[in-house]
């Protein structure tokens, strides 16, 4: 298991359904979920809990707590050209995961170096987990509502304790230009893939920079943040909006 960092957070996320869709199944208009959550989906949950462009969330591990079960549903997707289409989506049912993650400073944003207060961001993140997140939590797709609460990673009985299981090649996530660490990913939007393996019910993720199976989608610029821009809003130690130089218009 990866080491526990001093700014690590641990939480449980659960819900009635989840859909971590395999992109290969979407060409015909239908969706089928991976058996386990993707790195990108868990990172998105963390960003819904608490996020600032000052740092990047790194998902370390996920523990599968409930049995992996699927359910198929008939869905009528929106057809903008008219008609009344029917598609079948395959969801995961009654999911529950324990997650451990930490954050690192976003070195691609030197303009936000003054906001690199580890203690502040760590405390705010833990408080937001206790409150269930700042924004709505989704398990893969918007129709799959999720719920977050604090936990101690590894505590309690998990369905796959003592079980080792390999998985086939699957989607890992997307590296955006402002999060790129490798030189060849700079100025690019990059999609990553990997081959996960469950050990004792736990899947340890490799970091985005260590993914060797990847593809550049297109060139991408970094959106700037700062006090001179309208998209910057400082956060005080207590997690409220404000700052000495901030005034609500």
pLDDT(235) > 80: no
Contact 121, 52 (CB under 8 A): yes
Quote the domain boundaries for residue 18: 9-166
Task: State residue 87's pLDDT score.
Answer: 82
What is the arithmetic mean of pLDDT over 37-55? Answer: 95
Least confident stretch, 42-51, 78-87, 142-151, 152-161: 78-87
DSSP 33: B
Q: How far from 98 is each of 33, 93, 135, 186, CA to CA, in Å?
A: 19, 16, 19, 32
**Residue 226 domain flag:** no
Least confident stretch, 9-18, 75-84, 108-117, 164-173: 75-84
**Residue 207 domain flag:** no
Start-to-end CA span in the chain (Å): 48
Task: State residue 195's pLDDT score.
Answer: 95
**Residue 214 domain flag:** no
Least confident stretch, 46-50, 111-115, 130-134: 111-115
**Residue 51 domain flag:** yes
Q: What is this structure's pTM?
A: 0.84
**Residue 179 domain flag:** no
Per residue in 175-227, pLDDT (tens digit) is 888 887 888 878 888 899 999 999 999 999 999 999 999 988 888 887 776 66
**Residue 156 domain flag:** yes
Task: State residue 248's pLDDT score.
Answer: 38
Per residue in 47-104, pLDDT (tens digit) is 999 999 999 999 999 999 999 999 998 887 777 666 667 888 899 999 999 999 999 9
Q: How far from 144 is each of 21, 64, 76, 92, 175, CA to CA, in Å?
A: 12, 17, 16, 10, 24
What's the distance, CA 230 to chain centroid? 26
What CATH number did the domain enclosing 116 receive? 3.30.70.2660
How far apart, in whole angstroms, are the C-alpha atoms of residue 45 and residue 51? 10
Task: State residue 244's pLDDT score.
Answer: 47
**Residue 186 domain flag:** no
How far apart, in whole angstroms, are the C-alpha atoms of residue 238 and residue 56? 21
**Residue 243 domain flag:** no
In DSSP terms, which residues pair with 200 in a beta bridge?
none
Q: Domain tally for the chain?
A: 1
């Amino acid at each position: 298991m990866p080491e526990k960092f001093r700014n690590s957070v641990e939480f449980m996320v659960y819900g009635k359904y989840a859909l971590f869709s395999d992109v290969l199944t979407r060409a015909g208009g239908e969706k089928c979920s991976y058996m386990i959550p993707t790195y990108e989906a868990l990172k998105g949950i963390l960003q819904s809990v608490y996020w600032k462009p000052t740092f990047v969330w790194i998902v370390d591990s996920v523990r599968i707590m409930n049995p992996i079960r699927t359910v198929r549903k008939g869905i009528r997707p929106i057809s903008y050209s008219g008609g009344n289409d029917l598609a079948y989506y395959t969801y995961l049912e009654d999911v529950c995961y324990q997650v451990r993650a930490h954050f690192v400073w976003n070195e691609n944003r030197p303009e936000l170096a003054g906001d690199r207060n580890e203690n502040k961001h760590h405390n705010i993140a833990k408080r937001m987990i206790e409150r269930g997140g700042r924004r709505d939590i989704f398990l893969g797709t918007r129709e799959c509502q999720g719920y977050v609460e604090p936990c101690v990673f590894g505590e309690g009985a998990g369905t796959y304790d003592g079980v080792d299981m390999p998985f086939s090649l699957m989607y890992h996530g997307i590296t955006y230009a402002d999060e790129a660490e490798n030189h060849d990913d700079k100025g690019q939007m990059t999609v990553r893939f990997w081959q996960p393996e469950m050990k004792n019910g736990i899947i340890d993720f490799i970091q985005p920079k260590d993914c060797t199976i990847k593809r550049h989608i297109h060139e991408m610029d970094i959106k700037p943040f700062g006090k001179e821009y309208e998209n910057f809003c400082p956060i005080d130690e207590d997690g409220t909006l404000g700052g000495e130089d901030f005034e609500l218009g």
